[in-house]
Amino acid sequence: MAITAQGHLRLPVAVRRVCRLHDGDRLLVAACPDPGILVAYPMAELDAMVLAYHATRRGEAC
């Protein structure tokens, strides 16, 4: 894998298939250096996590 000149990370087809990703899907990629892994979150999953977090904090100050 490599970063393109446009700053995009190109994932191999096999990885995209396993993760059920499509061309053009946007991801948040985060590194976990201690175990040496990358974690990729599709935007729909990130939206769901943020909404769930805020649903548990209703009534609290930001």
Per-residue confidence of the chain (62 residues) as pLDDT tens digits? Answer: 678 899 888 888 898 899 888 888 888 988 888 888 988 889 989 999 999 998 888 767 66
Cα distances (Å, whole numbers) of residue 17 to 21, 23, 31: 6, 10, 21
